[in-house]
Structure 1
Amino acid sequence: MMGIVGVVGRVLLGLFFLLPGLMKAMDPAQGLELMVARDVPFHVPLFWASVVIEVVFGAMLVFGLQAVIAALVLAGLTLAINIGVHNFWAVPEDLMRAELQLFVKNTAVMGGLLVAAAWAYSKR
């Protein structure tokens, strides 16, 4: 039973990155605009690097390929996005609540990714 729960959790976490990564690749304007608004340096290459990471490592997590590495890379990406894009402490007050909510949600996703990495490692 717990094996099924772990697999479903891993797949859902992978899809959380894979599907948005594909959508960003098809329509990059909104993501690039957000990065410009947050003064992210080198926003174009960093945007495309994040898309590749989301798609490749999200798919790896979905299919259980090197799941430990995939989960840890995605956790690192999520941390970088939290600091660079959802930096609620540095946005105007009218955006702070929404950015704080995204920051907290992403922090929970990072926790899930760390659990997925630990679970996948224990199955080796």
Structure 2
Amino acid sequence: MSILNVVGRAALASIFVQGGLSAVQQPQQRAKLVAQAGLPAPELLTQINGGVMVLSGSLMTLGIMPRTSALALLAALVPTTVVGHPFWQFEEGAQRQGQMLHFAKNLALMGGLLLVVADTGERR
């Protein structure tokens, strides 16, 4: 395992650990979006999603089952992206642009996670 893989995984995981802690400790704002999406128990779902992010991000950082952890983060990030950044629901303007930016950021994170999933540790 190269030092670049270790540092890259830790850097990628940091946003999930930080965001997940926030969702667990203060779910109210995010839960409003979950409720608007029509999902049941919005605060509980928000905290579960945050917990998955904290646990999986921590495991990925430590190099414990990094590919499985990245898959779990992908599974948590997809609904987070769709529910949390529905840019298509806004008219043209700053709010739509902001949501589009966050949606695209999450797509980029998904790409990074897919690279971790694809990393079998083989030398090339």
TM-score bin, normalised by smaller chain: 0.7 to 0.9
Identity value in percent: 28
The alpha-carbon distance between structure 1 residues 90 and 103, as it changes in their structure 2 partners (threshold 3 A), is: same
Structure whose residues are more often helix by fraction: 1
In the TM superposition, residue 111 of structure 1 has moved relative to its aligned partner by 0.1
Q: Distance in 1 between matches of 2:14 and 2:38?
A: 26
In structure 1, runs of 5+ residues without a counterpart are: none
Matching residue of 1:77: 76
Aligned pair count reads: 120
**TM-score, length-scaled by structure 1:** 0.84
In the TM superposition, residue 91 of structure 1 has moved relative to its aligned partner by 3.2
Contact kept, 8 Å, 1:24 with 1:31, in 2: the verdict is yes
SS in 2 for 1:122: coil
19-28 vs 4-13, greater mean Cα deviation: 19-28
Q: Which structure 2 residues correspond to residues 6-85 of structure 1 after superposition, within 5 A?
A: 6-36=5-35, 38-42=36-40, 43-85=42-84
Residue identity opposite 1:111 in structure 2: G
Q: Distance in 2 between matches of 1:20 and 1:10?
A: 16
Residue identity opposite 1:6 in structure 2: N
In the TM superposition, residue 24 of structure 1 has moved relative to its aligned partner by 2.3
Superposition RMSD on alpha carbons, in Å? 1.9
